[in-house]
Structure 1
């Protein structure tokens, strides 16, 4: 998946061969915000406009715009897995948060690459 980032918002980018256009959608928020364009330069401008319009529209209606992911992650796992993870972090000389972030980053990088 190709992505673009602007003002902390990330968008997925794709090409529609049938209609011969690029299109994108903001990721990481529940609101649906999309955009499209014929060229890469216009797509980038459309993305920036979509983010700016989203933030402005939220302000006009008195709603806080959703922010993409806060960095807080709550997981529920089997107690045996929790125990192994805590031990792995301790063996690595890291906090559970440090170890977990490294492992999750490596797994996500591998999956998204």
Structure 2
């Protein structure tokens, strides 16, 4: 994981400000903006963990059922023209839509990632 931390299923981005000599980040994949910071690796990790715990605690107090960001299942993808043409041709040959081809490719990539983690 590059520039990310994980805790309780939440991801936190990590950045470094060389001018202020501080690490900072935010919890990714949620509707709210929750940020954290620290002056060392240990401090940023601790601040991230505390931020997630505080966020989950606050969410449960206001009975927020799904604190994670919602996804509608559609997004734009920009690819080179030649790759678009090849993907379209492959979808025709396989008898599926271009959306189905892209979905299969993403599912395959996600499964490969899980295999590398295990």
- Output the CA distance in 2 between the equivalents of 1:65 and 1:37: 28
Q: Residue 99 of structure 1: CA displacement?
A: 2.7
- Name 1:99's counterpart in structure 2: 105
TM-score normalised according to structure 1 size: 0.65
Gaps of 5+ in 1: 106-113
Q: How does 1:34-113 map to 2 (within 5 A)?
A: 34-67=35-68, 73-75=73-75, 84=88, 86-87=91-92, 90=94, 96=101, 97-102=103-108
- Name 1:111's counterpart in structure 2: none
TM-score normalised according to structure 2 size: 0.63
Question: Greater relative contact order: 1 or 2 (C-alpha under 8 angstroms, separation 6 or more)?
Answer: 1
Asked whether 1:29 is paired with 2:30, we answer yes
- Name 2:80's counterpart in structure 1: none
Distance 1:67 1:60, change over 3 A: same
CA RMSD of aligned residues (A): 3.5
Distance 1:10 1:69, change over 3 A: farther
Aligned residues: 98
- Output the CA distance in 2 between the equivalents of 1:69 and 1:11: 17
Structure 1 consecutive aligned stretches of length 4 or more whose deviation exceeds 6 Å: none
Gaps of 5+ in 2: 78-84, 112-118
